[in-house]
Structure 1
């Protein structure tokens, strides 16, 4: 267990966050319990975050900033903390998401992480590993903050119909997830197209992939396997995947028809069960 008196603020973003939280709390002459009462959290949680044993959330950070009048310090720090908690092989992807002007992704079996709901995230991440599930869920959801930026990336998702019908987390979780995707119908910067089963063979049969496009920098293709990621800026690879993506988007349903299919699956497959 990390002892608070030997916490090294230079060890990691999480340690630095905890060190600063303790320093500013003590400067305000507050105990952990008193600060917890102000924030509507337990003093124990405050202590765990101060000793780098618990990952802070965005909401916790915003409340601390308001309570200790920090000028937004912890709201800025928490983004670094959450990004540092991603698996090492995935951190580069999070950086690409932050920098990208356009993100194009094709997904075969699950909804892309940037559009996942909290319950769906927990169901996906909890398979075979329930450890620190709430912290890992918060870390994944934090990536979605890129859509809150003044100039958010344009996001295109081509999603296999299989992902709509693969029941992850149960009926209610899936209903909520599909409803969440429908909530972007009028958002021109977040676009969802469904590749229906009727499309047959298609250019994405080799698997999911992402294309990241930037202002002034070469595009990058990203694929992943079990516990590993494979980014590539090779021009031939980028050209090939760009062509594949164009054909996938052409084979997919229109934005309007995709929304209709999502709505139909949501109601027919995950709607209220009626007794005969």
Structure 2
């Protein structure tokens, strides 16, 4: 880990954040413990963030800005810090996703990352046995902030029905995840459809893919394999992906029917059930 006396602000966004936090704190003539008291945390946490041993959160950054009067410096920096925690191969896609005006995705296995709850995301990301699970989770949650912008992208998600039935993280986690999908179904800029099992063979049996559209840049198709992601703006690929997505939209349940199915699965598969010891004995 970085030593406070050798921290290189040019090494990474996280190093710069730690270096700048120390510089601003010392300029305010505050010790780590004193700043901690002001923002309701320990001086030890301040020291760990200054030396990159701990990842700053957005809430921490906002409180530091308020305490030090830094005019949003750390609230802006934390976005770069959290984005840098994404896998290197995924960062180019995340950058494009953040700029997109229209996002359409078909997901055959999992809830799309922008729609995941923190618990669900943690369960998914843990399967890769990462060195820094919490950093990856924080980065995924940071990605979702694009949906909270004043002018968010229009997002259209088609989820295979299998996504609803795969109990990622257990029953409680899945119930809250499906509830999150139902909440997002009322979002002005979001549409969610479910591709039912009854559809049988369909236009994307080959797997999941995303289509990104921009105000002026060419459209992009994104796919993933077992170790990395791939983006292309090849016109033939874009045309083929758009055609497949149109077929998926036509085959999937309507938005209203999808909400009804998500609700039914949530209640029947992940609803409250009596524990074995609570069941009546004949």
TM range (shorter): over 0.9
Provide the rounded CA distance (Å) in 1 between the counterparts of 2:39 and 2:123: 29
Provide the rounded CA distance (Å) in 1 between the counterparts of 2:84 and 2:110: 24
The answer to which of 125-134 and 186-195 deviates more is: 125-134
Aligned to 2:157: 157
Aligned to 1:194: 194
SS in 2 for 1:6: coil
Shift of 1:128: 4.9
Within a 5 Å distance, the mapping from 1:3-18 to structure 2 comes to: 3-18=3-18
Provide the rounded CA distance (Å) in 1 between the counterparts of 2:17 and 2:120: 28
The answer to which of 255-264 and 56-65 deviates more is: 56-65
Aligned to 1:92: 92
Q: Does the C-alpha gap of structure 1 residues 211 and 185 become closer, same or farther in structure 2, counting only changes over 3 Å? A: same
Provide the rounded CA distance (Å) in 2 between the counterparts of 1:156 and 1:55: 32
Aligned to 1:215: 215
How high is the TM-score relative to the length of structure 1? 0.97
Per-residue CA deviation, residues 206-243 of structure 1 (Å, 9 max, x unaligned), is 00000000011110000011221110000000000000
Shift of 1:41: 2.1
Q: Is the 8 A contact 2:82 2:135 kept in 1?
A: no
Aligned to 2:135: 135
Aligned to 2:49: 49
Provide the rounded CA distance (Å) in 2 between the counterparts of 1:220 and 1:128: 26
SS in 2 for 1:158: strand
Aligned to 1:79: 79
Shift of 1:53: 2.0
Per-residue CA deviation, residues 138-193 of structure 1 (Å, 9 max, x unaligned), is 11110001112221100110000000000000100000000001002222311110
CA RMSD of aligned residues (A): 1.1
Provide the rounded CA distance (Å) in 2 between the counterparts of 1:44 and 1:96: 37
Q: Work out the number of aligned pairs and report it.
A: 276
Provide the rounded CA distance (Å) in 1 between the counterparts of 2:205 and 2:156: 18
Provide the rounded CA distance (Å) in 2 between the counterparts of 1:135 and 1:111: 20
Aligned to 2:102: 102
Per-residue CA deviation, residues 30-73 of structure 1 (Å, 9 max, x unaligned), is 21122122222222221111112222111111111111111111
1:114 aligns with 2:114: yes
Provide the rounded CA distance (Å) in 2 between the counterparts of 1:204 and 1:42: 51
Unaligned runs of 5+ in 1: none
Provide the rounded CA distance (Å) in 2 between the counterparts of 1:136 and 1:33: 28
Shift of 1:250: 0.8
Q: Is the 8 A contact 2:111 2:163 kept in 1?
A: yes
Aligned to 1:243: 243
Shift of 1:198: 0.4
How high is the TM-score relative to the length of structure 2? 0.95
Q: Is the 8 A contact 2:165 2:265 kept in 1?
A: yes
Aligned to 2:148: 148
Per-residue CA deviation, residues 67-104 of structure 1 (Å, 9 max, x unaligned), is 11111111111111111111110001111111100000
Provide the rounded CA distance (Å) in 1 between the counterparts of 2:135 and 2:242: 35
Aligned to 2:68: 68
Aligned to 1:230: 230
Shift of 1:130: 5.8
Per-residue CA deviation, residues 10-41 of structure 1 (Å, 9 max, x unaligned), is 11111111111001111112211221222222
